[in-house]
Chain A
């Protein structure tokens, strides 16, 4: 694995249930290098959500290798996996998941809550992250005062605040109208240009096509990967 590889999947399978097991992932292999912007695209039921959970270490694969930041996820216990998520992985969800009663600053600072960063430092970095997504003037606002697009910006700031090795964005524009969706994609592209490694999981081809690399999944398998040979 090259030093620039932040994520590596090799022969990953995931099966649910026992009798008979239902295969959600069937031997998925690919790797992602630092600084890439990748779309994982596929119709619903294709296994892309399972793939997101496995990449994000929220779920363990039935077999195969998942390596994040050089660490084999299978070798880590719950605490170590949690630390891996806290430090190396940022999540952006379709439903934003923002605490309504907290300020934007606290919400974003909570992105570092479990990473062992002192409270003052967390807020400092949260303010920077909010500024980076264009909400630097609204640190004390609450999510209920924001539009959908702004809420997703907050969620992106929370995912980026710890400068993780990789950001996983699950249908980041799924709950937004086209104008807001466009702005979020523009933001994701901008953040990628600044160096963030971002994986966008989507079922919309229009969104996927904005990413330099697209990995298409169908029935739990990778059917195409536009990676340049040196990147694959």
Chain B
């Protein structure tokens, strides 16, 4: 007689392992719930951090990493410095520079919704003079209305940044839409979309250089001639792949006389750092997920021990039908693993769904890292095996005559 001929097929194992679960589905569902919650928390945390990272990386890719800025820094004595008025024109001449724009922060000039708003309530908004190429360089679009043109740049006409528009209570553009800027009325021509690379633009109200000169007196004198300016920030689009070459030349080109007074930076670095931070897990939630998994494992172990006691006659019957001790042990171990894996699968689906819903509301790419769901299922298998081992051994060691004794 060959003992091997009594082996069960996989299909039989699945059926035998699910006997207890099919007999008491509610109990099975409740004991799998702990594992489902734990797995969902872990998959959700990993999924959300990966998705938000993917969202930021997509944004960085969209905006490009080739935007460089030159700002006025500080003079050697610590006082305020100034960029030369001709700096943008000089930078335009550099190799690998594709586009240049510039703005000038006009200090001590504030903007209000109307003339009756108290002077102190500036709302942190800035007034900037701008040249006309700003939007393509920043790759910022218009939410409403029009951008400045050669004509409106000379008139008391402004375009407001996304945050500034909110603060000023402007959500649409119409004729005679006005704001109180620097002690006079300016018409609003347009509202900008948010500019993630240059958040300063979001809180700014932009007017043309000629208008700044004419209405706000923002001028500098070069060679005895009066000109609008100087710029305080220069935005440079370098050819992709040549960013660092251009960056190394910018300070000297902008201000050959005092290059140390020009502060050069790459705004996408901030977003890259944020993306890196978003990729790190929220360890608190991850920890809670692990705790839920442990509680779930204890629940499964508890249910399996009760199940072995309740199903003594089934164990005795199976032994009488020819099941070996090993087959009884495998049956209960498989049942425990099956229970945990069902919990794990439900958890992975719930975590993935939560990630998908949240990521789509944020317009991120939905990213469920492979290690999150494979890890979730794998840990469920391990939990099921560990939780079920002791009850399974107990079941297999139960003498058939004891098992068949009616309670």
Residues of chain A touching chain B, judged by Cβ–Cβ distance below 8 Å, are 53, 56, 58-59, 71, 78-80, 82-87, 89, 91, 93, 95, 97, 99-101, 110-111, 113-116, 118-119, 158
Considering only residues 4-61 of chain B, those with a C-beta below 8 Å from chain A are: 5-9, 11-12, 16, 19, 22-23
Beyond A59-B401, A119-B11, whether A99 also contacts B314 by CB under 8 A is: yes
Residues of A contacting B: mostly: helix
Closest beta carbon of chain A to B136's beta carbon, Å = 71
A217 to B400, CA, bound (A): 23
| Residues on B with beta carbons closer than 8 Å to the beta carbon of A86 | 6, 321-322
| Residues on A with beta carbons closer than 8 Å to the beta carbon of B365 | none
Most buried by B among A59, A71, A82, A101: A82
Beyond A59-B399, A93-B404, whether A83 also contacts B5 by CB under 8 A is: yes
Closest beta carbon of chain A to B403's beta carbon, Å = 9
Q: Does B309 contact A (CB under 8 A)?
A: no
Beyond A58-B320, A95-B406, A99-B19, whether A83 also contacts B401 by CB under 8 A is: no
| Residues on B with beta carbons closer than 8 Å to the beta carbon of A84 | 1, 322
Q: Does B317 contact A (CB under 8 A)?
A: yes
Most buried by B among A56, A59, A113: A113
Q: How large is the interface on B (under 10, 10 to 19, 20 to 34, 35 or more residues)?
A: 20 to 34
CB–CB B313/A114 < 8 A:
no
CB–CB B6/A114 < 8 A:
yes
CB–CB B325/A78 < 8 A:
yes
Closest beta carbon of chain A to B329's beta carbon, Å = 11
Beyond A93-B404, A97-B313, A97-B314, whether A83 also contacts B321 by CB under 8 A is: no
CB–CB B1/A87 < 8 A:
yes
Considering only residues 333-357 of chain B, those with a C-beta below 8 Å from chain A are: none
Q: Does B82 contact A (CB under 8 A)?
A: no
In the complex, 8 of the A-B residue pairs with CB atoms within 8 angstroms, ordered by the A residue number, are A58-B399, A78-B324, A78-B325, A82-B323, A85-B319, A86-B6, A93-B317, A97-B317
Q: Does B93 contact A (CB under 8 A)?
A: no
| Residues on A with beta carbons closer than 8 Å to the beta carbon of B318 | 114
Q: Does B257 contact A (CB under 8 A)?
A: no
Q: Does B3 contact A (CB under 8 A)?
A: yes
A101 to B9, CA, bound (A): 21
CB–CB B313/A79 < 8 A:
no
A89 to B400, CA, bound (A): 15
| Residues on B with beta carbons closer than 8 Å to the beta carbon of A116 | 5-7
A80 to B318, CA, bound (A): 15
| Residues on A with beta carbons closer than 8 Å to the beta carbon of B400 | 53, 58-59
| Residues on B with beta carbons closer than 8 Å to the beta carbon of A100 | 23
CB–CB A87/B322 < 8 A:
yes
CB–CB B321/A85 < 8 A:
yes
CB–CB A115/B12 < 8 A:
no
A106 and chain B: residue at smallest CB distance: B15
* Number of A-B contacts defined by CB within 8 Å: 92
Q: Does B327 contact A (CB under 8 A)?
A: yes
B7 and chain A: residue at smallest CB distance: A116
| Residues on A with beta carbons closer than 8 Å to the beta carbon of B319 | 58, 82, 85
| Residues on B with beta carbons closer than 8 Å to the beta carbon of A89 | 320
Beyond A80-B1, A82-B6, A86-B321, whether A113 also contacts B401 by CB under 8 A is: no
Contact with A along B283-297 (1 / 0, CB 8 A): 000000000000000
| Residues on A with beta carbons closer than 8 Å to the beta carbon of B2 | 83
A93 to B317, CA, bound (A): 9
CB–CB B320/A85 < 8 A:
yes
Closest beta carbon of chain A to B119's beta carbon, Å = 81
Closest beta carbon of chain B to A164's beta carbon, Å = 10
Contact with A along B210-224 (1 / 0, CB 8 A): 000000000000000
A53 to B1, CA, bound (A): 22
Beyond A53-B401, A97-B314, A99-B19, whether A80 also contacts B3 by CB under 8 A is: yes
CB–CB A79/B8 < 8 A:
no
Known: A85-B322, A113-B322. 11 other contacts (CB 8 A): A58-B399, A78-B324, A84-B1, A86-B6, A91-B321, A93-B404, A114-B8, A114-B321, A114-B324, A116-B6, A118-B9
Closest beta carbon of chain B to A105's beta carbon, Å = 13
A50 and chain B: residue at smallest CB distance: B401
| Residues on A with beta carbons closer than 8 Å to the beta carbon of B23 | 99-101
| Residues on A with beta carbons closer than 8 Å to the beta carbon of B321 | 85-86, 91, 110-111, 113-114, 158
A113 to B7, CA, bound (A): 9
A182 to B116, CA, bound (A): 107
CB–CB B3/A79 < 8 A:
yes
| Residues on A with beta carbons closer than 8 Å to the beta carbon of B401 | 53, 58-59
A93 to B314, CA, bound (A): 12
| Residues on A with beta carbons closer than 8 Å to the beta carbon of B316 | 58, 97
A91 to B322, CA, bound (A): 11
A56 to B321, CA, bound (A): 10
Contact with A along B167-199 (1 / 0, CB 8 A): 000000000000000000000000000000000
| Residues on B with beta carbons closer than 8 Å to the beta carbon of A87 | 1, 322
A115 to B1, CA, bound (A): 11
Closest beta carbon of chain B to A16's beta carbon, Å = 11
| Residues on A with beta carbons closer than 8 Å to the beta carbon of B22 | 101
Closest beta carbon of chain A to B2's beta carbon, Å = 8
Most buried by B among A56, A59, A116: A116
Closest beta carbon of chain A to B390's beta carbon, Å = 20
Closest beta carbon of chain A to B16's beta carbon, Å = 8
A79 and chain B: residue at smallest CB distance: B3
| Residues on A with beta carbons closer than 8 Å to the beta carbon of B3 | 79-80, 82-83
